[in-house]
Amino acid sequence: MQTLRKQLDELVAKLPDGKAVRARIDEIYSVYPFNEFEYLISTLLGRDVLSLDQYYEMRDSYLERNAFLYIFEISAPRTFGEAWAQGHLKELVPDLSKPSKKFDPNYSGQYDFLLDGRIRIEVKASRAVDTSSDEPLYVKALSSESTQPFWMNFQQVKPACCDVFVWIAVWRDRIRYWILSSHELKTHRAYSKGQHRGNTGEGQLHLRQENIRDFDKYEVVSSRLGKAIRDAYKRQLRVRNH
């Protein structure tokens, strides 16, 4: 959004009455999809300051920079964490199956997926937003190149309830994935125990600019998620059988 604003501002500055055009924005009553951007773009097109080809180029560039902005428009945390994140992972790893007592007699919702009928997987997802802003998520969504501070909180983490954790982090232009065994998460210095009073075995993990590089060795490209989950499970078994 900041890049688009800058592009439009530079074009408005070329208008003889650029200041008046900018002042008009404060008087505009916006109703979707008619807002300040629609007003500026239509004005610039009408004044021949912005050509149709330039508009198409600007539009394509914006869509590329904001390919995943729609994910920030999911307002309900549960809808984002369960419906979107789990569905997204299932698309990338079709071999995943939803657990049930048929496969695990002790299952009662402790984890999200099974792989190969035995690997218990928990999915956690979060979105990168500007922590200094009180705007809606889709407004304060950050690009992966941003230097603004961000904070991702992976909550209700229960290492004893699964074998492998899959973290999904969303920026407006990028989605990143980390795969950790349960033991690797539980013993990581960024993991804090006792998220809620009395909830034994439950904790949380905060991912920020200061510590995101600590997880580089666990990051995986989307095409290798299935293999990475199986590899993390093997590491978990080695610890368990040690």
Q: Which domain holds residue 29?
A: 2-65
**Residue 149 maps to a domain:** yes
pLDDT of residue 200: 63
70 in a structural domain: no
Both 86 and 173 in a single domain?
A: yes
Residue 71 included in any domain: no
For residues 168 and 104, membership in a common domain is answered with yes
For position 124, which CATH number holds? Answer: 3.40.1350
* Confidence at 132, pLDDT banded by 50, 70, 90: confident
pTM (2 decimals)?
0.83
Asked whether residue 134 falls in the same domain as residue 213, the answer is: yes
Output the pLDDT for position 194.
Answer: 64
Give the model confidence (pLDDT) of 62-111 as tens digits.
999 999 999 999 988 889 988 999 999 999 999 999 999 888 888 999 99
Same domain assignment for residues 26 and 135: no
86 within domain boundaries: yes
Confirm whether 57 is domain-assigned. yes
Let me know if 87 is exposed, middle or buried by CB neighbors in 10 A (0-12, 13-18, 19+).
exposed
Both 59 and 106 in one domain: the answer is no
Pinpoint the alpha helices (H) of 30-140.
36-46, 52-65, 77-78, 85-92, 137-140
How many domains does the chain contain in total? Answer: 2
